[in-house]
Each structure stands twice: as structure tokens, then as C-alpha cells.
């Protein structure tokens, strides 16, 4: 199984964030690639999400301080992009494309299958925090419809049988 589970830092640990020396070094490395600190905002946020599993208000404030921006500006960017999690995510976030190409190729059947197998609908997590289902507008893989993105990995041409197998494999990883 190649998909890595998300390990989300608990909210109480991300109320006030200061970056350690390793994180500072990675941010500094990113800043060298961009003409301004503001231009590096998305990569720095992505780095933070990779580290903490999600973007808390404390992370927003730390990024704002580090890049010399207002917390409101950083929060505006975070809230605009759907790739950033504003709450601790499940270990496996199932992002199902619900755009026309995927809908025509069976995305609705996959959504129904997930609801049947996991007991969750769009925007919900399983009680054990292992799975979360999110409907997304386009994953940019129309040629592989229907497409399911699990964390950072794409699964194209998904059938109900392939979905069942994938969910079983992911559940075993726990």
C-alpha cells in the first residue's frame, strides 16, 4: 500500500505554534526559491500541513509572523484553497471527484458504496477517525474517471470492486 496515513497533531498542541530549527531550515530553504516571502506562502503552508496534518489558527499566526504578513491575509489564503484542512482530518481523506466526467463514469455509485461500507456521507468522518469523505469539483484526471484521491495519491478508473479492495487495504494499515 503506497498511501500514507495522515498523522494530525491534536488541536491543543497547535494553539500557539513556534517553528523548531528543522522547520525553520526548511522554510528558509523554500524562501530562497521565491522573489518575496509572500510568494512562498503556499509552499510554506503546504510544508506546515505536511508537518502538522492540518492548518490551525496557531499555525496561521506562526506563518504570518514568519513571512511578515497579517494573520487575516494568511487565513484568507488558507480558506480559499480546498487543499488545506482547517480541522484535524481523518487518517485517510477520500476525495471523490463529483465533476461531470466522473459523474458520468460512476462517481455517484462510488459515493453510494462508500456510504454503505463506511456509514458516512460527504463531509463526514467515521467514528474511529480512519476515513473521511469529501466531494471535490475536479482532480484534473478526467481521462481516468472516476477518480478518487486518498491523501496525496490518485486512484483512477475506480470501480466498486476496486474501491472495496482499497478500503480493505487501508483499514488493514491501522
* Domain map (residue ranges) of the chain: 11-80, 92-172
Quickly count: other Cβ atoms within 10 Å of residue 25's Cβ. Answer: 11
**CA–CA distance, 65 with 73 (Å, rounded to integer):** 11
Which residues contact residue 38 at a Cβ distance below 8 angstroms, ignoring those fewer than 6 apart? 67, 69
Q: What are phi and psi of 105, to 5 degrees?
A: -100, 10
Query: Mean of the pLDDT values across residues 146-156?
Result: 95
Domain 11-80 has CATH 1.10.10.1590: yes
Share of the chain above pLDDT 90, in %: 94
Residue 53 φ/ψ, nearest 5 degrees: 90, -15
- Residue identified by cell 485517510 is 92
| pLDDT for residue 114 | 97
The Cα 1–Cα 3 span in angstroms is: 6
What is the spatial distance between Cα 152 and Cα 174, in angstroms, rounded to a whole number? Answer: 18
DSSP structural state of residue 38: G
Same fold, 11-80 and 92-172: no
State pLDDT tens for residues 79-131. Answer: 998 889 999 999 999 999 999 999 999 999 999 999 999 999 999 999 999 99
DSSP tag of 126? -
Cell of 96: 471523490
Q: What is the reported pLDDT for 1?
A: 55
pLDDT, tens only, 93-104: 999 999 999 999
CATH fold for the domain made of 92-172: Glutaredoxin (3.40.30)
Helix (H, G, I), strand (E, B) or coil at 99: coil
* Per-residue pLDDT at 174 exceeds 80: no
Round to whole Å and give the CA distance between 2 and 51. 19
Q: What is the pLDDT of residue 17?
A: 96
Spatial separation of the C-alpha atoms in residues 168 and 174, rounded to whole Å: 11
**Residue 47, SS3?**
helix
Per-chain mean pLDDT for the chain: 95
Whether residue 159 is predicted with pLDDT greater than 90 in this model: the reply is yes
What's this model's pTM, rounded to 2 decimal places?
0.89
Residue 88 has what pLDDT? 96
**φ, ψ (nearest 5 deg) of residue 71:** -60, -35
Q: pLDDT category, 173, cuts 50, 70, 90?
A: confident
Amino acid at each position: 500500500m503506497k498511501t500514507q496515513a495522515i498523522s494530525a497533531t491534536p488541536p491543543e498542541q497547535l494553539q500557539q505554534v513556534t517553528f523548531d530549527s528543522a522547520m525553520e531550515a526548511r522554510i528558509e530553504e523554500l524562501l530562497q526559491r521565491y522573489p518575496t516571502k509572500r510568494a512562498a506562502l503556499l509552499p510554506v503552508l503546504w510544508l506546515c500541513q505536511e508537518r502538522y496534518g492540518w492548518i490551525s489558527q496557531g499555525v496561521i499566526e506562526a506563518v504570518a509572523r514568519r513571512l511578515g504578513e497579517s494573520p487575516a491575509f494568511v487565513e484568507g489564503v488558507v480558506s480559499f484553497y480546498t487543499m488545506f484542512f482547517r480541522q484535524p482530518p481523518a487518517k485517510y481523506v477520500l476525495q471523490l471527484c463529483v465533476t461531470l466526467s466522473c459523474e458520468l463514469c460512476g462517481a455517484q455509485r462510488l459515493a453510494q458504496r462508500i456510504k454503505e461500507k463506511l456509514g458516512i456521507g460527504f463531509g463526514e468522518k467515521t467514528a474511529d477517525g480512519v476515513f473521511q469523505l469529501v466531494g471535490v469539483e475536479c482532480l484534473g484526471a478526467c481521462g481516468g474517471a472516476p477518480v478518487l484521491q486518498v491523501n496525496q495519491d490518485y486512484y483512477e478508473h475506480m470501480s466498486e470492486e476496486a474501491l472495496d479492495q482499497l478500503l480493505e487495504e487501508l483499514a488493514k494499515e491501522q
